Chains A and B, each alone.
Chain A
Amino acid sequence: MQFTEQQILALAPDLASVKAGRELARPVKWSATGFDGNALWGLCQGSGASPYRTQIDLAGPAFKCSCPSRKFPCKHGLGLLLLALSQPEAVPPSVEPPWVREWTEARAAKEDRTVDAGTERPAPTRTARSEKSIAARESKIAAGLEQLELWLRDLVRSGFAEIRSRSLKPFDEQAARLVDAQAPGLARFITEMRTALTSGAGWEERFLDRLGLTWLLIEAYRRQENLPDDLRSDVRGLMGWNQSQEAVLERDGIVDVWHVVAASAEMEDKLTVQRFWLLGLGTGKAALFLHFVHPAAPAKPVPFAVGDSFAGEVVYYESAQPLRCLVKSQETTVITGAPELGSLADGLAECASRSAALPWLTIQPLGAAAVYPFLGEIDCAGRIVEHETGLWLPLSSRLAPAALWRLVALSGQRPTAIFGEFDGGAFLPLTAWNDEGFVVL
């Protein structure tokens, strides 16, 4: 098995599938299992009369299952893969039965056709995108900005002291209009303004902050021709223009040994966005690799798991403060120790400097070498305290209680290296390590 448990679980469309998959990762649930080096298969008795036929092409991995689930991969696929990982003897080497062979051969044939087609026809380039359609989108965005400006002006003219007592529907309508105007990135700013309204004590500060940044983006977009190229790319990206992966991969990357130091996940509509934080052990640079999982779409495997290190080339998206990246080449897996982190004050200074250069940066990597969690009074959100200096930062309310207690247990109030995400106000620890070990929270 070339997969780790983390990699398998990263394929799951949601948490329920993870749980159900684990439950199915037991030999008793399976019969007629087999493995031939390229594919795994097995029969799983479900609620129906005949067992489900589950098959996995490890090259993808690609899944096929006769169960009626719309999730992809289904719990049977995940369960079989987890079973093969945890108890290889439960999936013995054998010859593919006809129902598996049929599928794998069809897949191989399709792959050949794709390769052939690829060699015959040059891949379409971005230059094929018509100038006309770009101009049309720009025009739609400009109209959307006009309309949003009017709405925002009205908003501050009448004041937002009592806005929470009124319907918040106008925020949803504005966001929808911006999506129609092909500015989905700006629509997210409006959604965040709406979220700030219901974020409890201190909402006024957060609302004004989002309002200020939204206006800044509008102004920046209108004057993008005056901006340096990298900042212009950020502004366009924030508005909703994507940098094509092909174009990014054409840029020069940074060759280093990259350590996958942490990962986090967030749901955006039905899409799960997984954030993998990489640290260049030679350069000290941080990079962010995004992985998207849609419950109904075949998931691509994540090329690494937290704790892995690999020698390779990482290329940043064009940005005034480059963080988001693609892995241009991943050569060898390297065994390394955990990365070395600096002081809390230094980490925060770096965050402040990034934020000053790119004010819209909401989530940043932050690590400190010798800190510990402190819980304080009940109902207190908790803090992360630097052992030597006593400096501290509030812990994010997004930190799940179970993760918080794992962190407390690991640290024992002794100096511990903690890496996580900083949103400008609070810190979300994601991984931690000391002489007790390396823990994914």
Chain B
Amino acid sequence: MRDGSELDQAWQTLMRSALLGSDRLPFIPSGASEALRFDSPPVDGALLLLKHAAFLAPLVRAGSMIPNRSGETQSAGGEAPPDNRPPANARAAAFLKQILAAPGRFLLLSEWLAECNEAGKRVPVDVLPDLLDVGRRRSLGPELARAVGARGFWLASQNPCWSYIIDQALVEPYPGAPEDLFAGNKTEDQARRMWNTAGKTMRLQLLRGLRNAKSPLALALVQETWDGEAASERAEIMTALGECANAGEAPFYEKALGERAREVRQAAASILMTLPGSALSERCLSRARALVRVVKPLLGAPRLHVAPPDDQSTDLDSDGFDRSEASAAGLGLKARMARFIVGAIPPAFWTDGAGARVTPEQFVAAARASDWSEAIVSGLRIAAIRFADPTMLELLVDPRATADLPWPLNTIGAVGLARRMDRAQRVSFELTLLEIPSRSLSGLIERVAALAQLPTERGICDIEVGRKFMEILTSFAVKTRDSGMRQPRRLAVMAGRCLPIEMTGELEEGWLNSMLVADRWREFAGEIQDSLAFRRNMIEEIKA
């Protein structure tokens, strides 16, 4: 208390004497202290001081219990704007709190948010801080921004740690965003500031957001900073751009073919291959014509005539071919060149434009029968994925060769490509991924991790894919029951997250029972069962 009152002065006098000691600075009562009267005042100065301390302390205490008036009391953001959507009910919120309290369940967050948004509800306000904290560490996309709503944005304006949610809306606009974030110069400035200052993940998200919004700003920003980017980032930027590339951008990618870094050249070539009319795609077509000719005899099945490429020629190298790459399938240089050439053109070329008209089935059969079958079939598989050709994908479900896909067509690269597929294509693609034989569980985990990233509906896989997944898992369980190998909880968590809840019944009756033959898989099966039950109850409560 420092208000200059009589009581304050008496208290300060007492304080000085107490600090220095009553021997050095004897306490002499004055002002408010004089109200304390004694029949016989104590002779000892220390005792006098203690008695006055006992007298004044309660007065000071009670006297200080008044509210303050001066000073700042309004934050810059003012009051939070209203959000007309009702909050999710307390039971649904309890599920969200459980997810946030257990890092092992974070995978369920996106499903909770998506269900909440679909039900036209929002996150209850008291859960917002924990959710925004978790959102800093995990990319939850526009579902998070939509679910936290106006109060979430207001809260983020109060705490710089959560400003990412504002940037998030810039990266991935969503219906009902506070403003049209991609309109006007102000937003362009915000995007430029973010592109120039944000971390790699956020920059790539921004780029994808701008691409999805068909904004010309994406390429403009990339070109502005291209010379200063590290080689490793250039390759990733190039891949991100490639997901929605158009013919008008071909000159930029053509120029990137001259880059020093191999990954950048390959990424640029990979994009140009998919741009009809680009100089590179034209070169690829003419090489393909020279490589393979379809011979259609009057009797019998069509055959392929393959003219092996010249392995001394280096013109393929400037179009993204990696001469030094080791082939896991043991292909020689000429075979790898042939595979590259076939993989660079749309599969439809062989059935529609390679002279003789053949059906996809006929062409694949001819490729398998040819002397160059491994190279041609492998190249076709690359092309089927690269050009998202569902017919070819189905015909070529031979997982053994997929492991040999070159970058960026490895598992993770394929995730980006899967964005362009429709449901049927994606299911076929996912089945292909799962069927890749793995010598170890870690290989399977990698595949399932990729599966979890595929742009499926809310991260839930198709029932057909789910069955294939469980088939592989149970066969693993049976095979390894006596090996004493440790069952990875992560795989069970991902399975429990990705499998559709409609599978609960058949899982309990069939798959999980099969797993129980191996005692060590009991907890693993239980984890999946537990996750599915949790998700089912959670969805019921959100919809209630």
Contact = CB atoms under 8 A, between A and B. Distances in A.
B54 A212 contact: yes
Interface class of chain B by DSSP = helix
Contacts of A391: 67-69
Contacts of B529: 27-28
B57 interface: yes
A289 to B, nearest CB: 24
A353 B66 CA distance: 11
Contact of A28 (B60, B94, B154, B527): B527
B333 to A, nearest CB: 53
Contact of A413 (B14, B53, B78, B527): B78
A200 B50 CA distance: 23
Given A27-B526, A28-B526, A355 B62 contact: yes
Interface in A404-424: 405-406, 408-410, 412-414, 422, 424
Nearest to B27: A156
A23 B102 contact: yes
Size bracket, chain A contacts = 35 or more
Nearest to A348: B65
A393 B78 contact: no
Nearest to A368: B67
A15 B88 CA distance: 28
A205 B8 CA distance: 11
A31 B56 CA distance: 65
A157 B23 contact: yes
Given A156-B22, A390-B73, A409 B57 contact: no
B454 interface: no
Contacts of A252: none
Given A348-B65, A412-B151, A211 B18 contact: yes
A147 to B, nearest CB: 15
Given A212-B53, A436-B87, A159 B18 contact: yes
Nearest to A155: B46
B46 A157 contact: yes
A208 B57 contact: yes
B242 to A, nearest CB: 40
Interface stretch (A66-74, A102-110, A166-174, A213-221): A213-221
A414 B79 contact: yes
A213 B159 CA distance: 41
Contacts of A158: 21, 23
B128 A348 contact: no
A386 interface: yes
B57 A348 contact: no
B261 interface: no
A363 interface: no
Contacts of A135: none
B77 interface: yes
Contacts of A26: 530
B307 interface: no
Given A156-B22, A159-B21, A374 B73 contact: yes
Nearest to B19: A161
Contacts of A394: 68
Given A212-B56, A391-B69, A409-B151, A159 B87 contact: no
A344 B69 CA distance: 12
A413 B46 CA distance: 50
Nearest to A407: B126
Nearest to B152: A409
Contacts of B11: 208
Interface in B47-76: 47, 49-51, 53-58, 60-69, 71-75
Nearest to B2: A205
Nearest to A162: B19
B158 A408 contact: yes
B65 A351 contact: yes
Nearest to A441: B126
B66 A375 contact: no
A74 B51 CA distance: 50
Contacts of B527: 28
Given A213-B58, A215-B50, 16 more contacts: A153-B47, A156-B46, A158-B23, A209-B60, A212-B53, A348-B66, A374-B74, A375-B75, A390-B69, A392-B71, A406-B126, A408-B158, A409-B129, A409-B151, A436-B87, A439-B126
Interface of A: 22-23, 26-28, 45, 86-87, 89, 152-154, 156-161, 204-205, 208-209, 211-213, 215-216, 219, 344-345, 348-349, 351-353, 355-356, 359, 374-376, 383, 385-386, 390-394, 402, 405-406, 408-410, 412-414, 422, 424-425, 436-437, 439
12 contacts: A22-B98, A27-B530, A153-B50, A159-B23, A211-B18, A211-B53, A352-B62, A355-B61, A374-B72, A383-B71, A394-B68, A408-B158
